[in-house]
Amino acid sequence: MADQLDNQATVQPVAVEASSLRDQVATIRRALVASPVRKWLLWTSVGIMAVIIATSIGQVLLNRWNQPFYDALARRDMAAFLHQLLVFAMIAGGLLVLNIGQTWLNQMIRLKLREALTLDLIDQWMRPVRAFRLANAGAIGVNPDQRMQQDAAHLSDLSTDLGVGLLQSLILLVSFVGVLWELSSGFVFHINGWSLAIPGYMVWAAFLYAGTASWLSWLVGRPLISLNSDRYTREAELRSSMVRVNENVDAIALYHGEADAKQRLELDLGTVLGAMRRIYTAQINLSWVTDTYGWITVVAPILVASPVYFSGDISFGGLMMAVGAFNQVHSSLRWFINNIGSIADWRATLMRVADFRIALDETDVLHDTERRITFDQNANGSLTFEKLQVASPEGCTKLSDQHVEIRAGDRVMITGEPGAGKTLFFRAIAGLWPWGSGKIGLPAGETLIFVPRVPYLPAGTLREVLNHANGHAPASDADIAAVLAEVGLERLSSSLDRVGRWDHELGDDEQRLLGVARLALRQPKWVIIDEAMDAFDGPSLRRVLAMLEKHLKGATIINIGRGQHNVQFFPRGLTIVKDSGAPALKPAHVRAGAIDPPPAAVHRKK
């Protein structure tokens, strides 16, 4: 319970502001411009544009081929028929090569676009302290892994397919509008002895037909944007719940919590299935429009041109040529109709990725409060706290003494009642939590090592774990074996080069002991510990203190915890108190257009 109370300050209220499409597009554009693969993307885009232009020229040639081919059929001219088949083979062969080249370029753009987006998100996320602050910014910081991995990949795929498709449609439209205008310039309608010529008749018919269908498709398909965004959020919650159950299977089994875990998973699955049902309903409604439009399109160009054909003003080959040009123009214009579902999906995915990127940019200025803790450097090499108050939504955490100085070589025990905010105070010294007032003076030229309750053990070999962030030459096998034996983990000496998930293979106490061994190898001059020593029993604690005495002789050691004050090792004691009457931290403002989990889900995640 004390741990829960001590961590409550890390969950802050967040006021969500909607970001606009312009903000989202501008954010992604800035990320791509700054990407190391931007030149590759640029030249690949130029290449695919050249291929599409060449393809459109081939399509125009293929359309012109229609008239002599069908006229040869109408005349039953075998020689002309065979000649046109040869012409067709040449045109089709060229288009085949261009299509394969376009497919390859499409895949390369998709690959490099994902690389650029994901590298940018990882870079922004891994800026000092950002991941921590974002995780405490509310719903926008939940499940960042999905936004960087799945959403970024999906956005890359959709952007490439939609972008290339739109470019191709625009080039084909420009290529065939002139052809269709010229073909329909001679169309004359004869009505009761009157002759009516409409310049570019089939062009206007194609625009009117496709425009009407596009408008109807947008009206029906627009809800898919919010529905897709909601689905991705629910999918992330389900995956998060499954991972959480998998990581706690031992505790679930011991407490016979399978029924509760099953109920939680079924509840999250139900929200996913509900979101999918809503999407399927919207897609069916959209299909009524697009499928009806598709069937009408089969005969629409012939119906449009038939009055002129039956009046005898064009030949059968001319009719087929006009129908082919109409279909090309119409195909370009109906790009929006064909892709309305993908556009809605793209818009939802863009919203999630861009809002996450925006939140990463804004997390450094997250709160409206102007009260910030001041950090300074002490030339005399001491650590000082001057009227320090650490702000949280519940109030302020502070030391009982307003003026505190800790000199090099001091050993200090800082204690406090449950819920006083000891972990918050630890994070403030580390610079993770800058909100509050007062001043922290750091020893100039010194590196402070911060030890959390459970040490960070990166994935890799045990040797890499022990040498993590060493700052000097890696330790020898003999030194590593010696410190492992001192903490009672000598069995690990034979596993130095084995890759493993050490945070899973080792128990909590063993992980803490491994953290102590890492300290012994690094031998820092300043160490600040957050409750990591409270979990050790009597013999283990004596062993750890003996190790610190041996390897960190002369180092400054500050232990923040709730354990009893060990006056032999920590001759000086300080007390953390809670000042509930002090001004609390104001809500944060994060721009977010995506639908995120409800507050209950955020607290459960924490």
Q: Which has the closest alpha carbon to 431: 512, 372, 368, 471?
A: 372
pLDDT digits (tens, 9 = 90+) for 185-213: 666 565 665 666 667 777 777 777 777 77
d(CA 243, CA 23): 33
Least confident of 39-43, 163-167, 321-325, 478-482: 321-325
470 confidence band (pLDDT: 50, 70, 90):
low
- The H-or-E segment that residue 40 falls in is helix 38-75
Q: Are 561 and 485 in contact (CB under 8 A)?
A: no
Q: What is the pLDDT of residue 382?
A: 94
Average pLDDT, integer, range 479-485: 89
Q: What is the pLDDT of residue 473?
A: 57
d(CA 19, CA 593): 5
90 confidence band (pLDDT: 50, 70, 90):
very high
pLDDT digits (tens, 9 = 90+) for 493-543: 888 888 888 888 888 888 888 888 888 888 889 999 988 888 787 788 888
* Burial class of 130 by CB neighbour count within 10 A (0 to 12, 13 to 18, 19+): middle
Angstrom CA distances, 51 to 44, 94, 97, 99, 259, stand at 11, 11, 10, 8, 59
Q: What is the pLDDT of residue 471?
A: 52
Q: What is the pLDDT of residue 412?
A: 92
405 or 605: which leads in pLDDT: 405
Q: Which has the closest alpha carbon to 399: 527, 529, 579?
A: 579
pLDDT digits (tens, 9 = 90+) for 53-81: 998 888 888 878 888 888 888 888 888 88
Reduced to 3 states (helix: H, G, I; strand: E, B; else coil), residue 564 is coil
Tokens of 601: 């889900």
First to last CA, the chain: 14
345 or 47: which leads in pLDDT: 47
Reduced to 3 states (helix: H, G, I; strand: E, B; else coil), residue 379 is coil
What is the Cβ-side half-sphere exposure of residue 245, based on CA atoms within 13 angstroms? 18
Q: What is the pLDDT of residue 205?
A: 76
DSSP structural state of residue 19? P
Q: What is the pLDDT of residue 479?
A: 87
Q: Is the pTM of this model over 0.85?
A: no
Reduced to 3 states (helix: H, G, I; strand: E, B; else coil), residue 392 is strand
d(CA 406, CA 425): 15
Q: What is the pLDDT of residue 556?
A: 94
Average pLDDT, integer, range 383-402: 87
Q: What is the pLDDT of residue 411?
A: 92
- The H-or-E segment that residue 75 falls in is helix 38-75
123 or 383: which leads in pLDDT: 383
Least confident of 145-159, 236-250, 408-422: 236-250
Whether the predicted pLDDT of 164 surpasses 80 = yes
Angstrom CA distances, 118 to 31, 108, 144, 441, stand at 10, 15, 12, 38
50 confidence band (pLDDT: 50, 70, 90):
very high
Q: What is the pLDDT of residue 84?
A: 87
Tokens of 325: 């040009």
Q: Helical H runs in 222-339?
A: 224-247, 249-254, 258-310, 316-333, 335-338
Q: What is the pLDDT of residue 18?
A: 56
Q: Which has the closest alpha carbon to 575: 417, 416, 423?
A: 416
Average pLDDT, integer, range 322-331: 72
- The H-or-E segment that residue 505 falls in is helix 502-505
Q: What is the pLDDT of residue 190?
A: 59
Virtual torsion, Cα 214, 219, 220, 222, nearest 10 deg:
100
Biggest alpha carbon distance in the chain? 117
Reduced to 3 states (helix: H, G, I; strand: E, B; else coil), residue 385 is strand
What's phi and psi for 451, nearest 5 deg? -115, 110
Q: What is the pLDDT of residue 593?
A: 43
83 or 334: which leads in pLDDT: 83
Q: What is the pLDDT of residue 602?
A: 34
Mean model confidence pLDDT for the chain: 79
Q: What is the pLDDT of residue 563?
A: 63
Least confident of 21-25, 480-484, 572-576: 21-25
Tokens of 472: 């000097």
Q: Tokens 């209950």 sit at which residue?
A: 600
Average pLDDT, integer, range 420-430: 89
Q: Which has the closest alpha carbon to 24: 379, 354, 466, 408?
A: 354
Average pLDDT, integer, range 118-138: 79
Per DSSP, the chain holds a count of helices (H) and strands (E) of 21, 16
Whether the predicted pLDDT of 597 surpasses 80 = no
Helix crossing, 152-184 with 316-333: angle to 10°? 150
Q: What is the pLDDT of residue 601?
A: 35
15 confidence band (pLDDT: 50, 70, 90):
very low
Least confident of 39-43, 509-513, 550-554, 583-587: 583-587
